Amino acid sequence: LVVVGCAEALFALDVIDRVSKVYLIENDKQWFKPLERTFAQWKDKVVILHKTLTDHDSDDSISLKSLVEQEKDRPVFLKMDIEGGELPALCNSESFLFGTAQKLKIACCVYHRVNDAETIEKILKNCGFSITYSSGYILTDFLDESMLPSLRKGVIRAVKN
Residue type, 33: K
pLDDT on residue 149: 78
pLDDT on residue 144: 64
Lowest mean pLDDT among 123-127, 147-151, 154-158: 147-151
Backbone torsion region of residue 38, taken as left when φ is above 0, otherwise alpha when ψ lies between -120 and 50, otherwise beta:
alpha
pLDDT on residue 124: 95
Give the pLDDT confidence of 29-53 residue by residue, as tens digits: 899 999 999 999 999 999 999 998 8
Give the pLDDT confidence of 92-148 residue by residue, as tens digits: 788 888 888 888 999 999 988 888 999 999 999 999 999 999 998 888 776 666 677
pLDDT on residue 143: 64
pLDDT on residue 100: 83
Average pLDDT rounded to a whole number, residues 14-18: 92
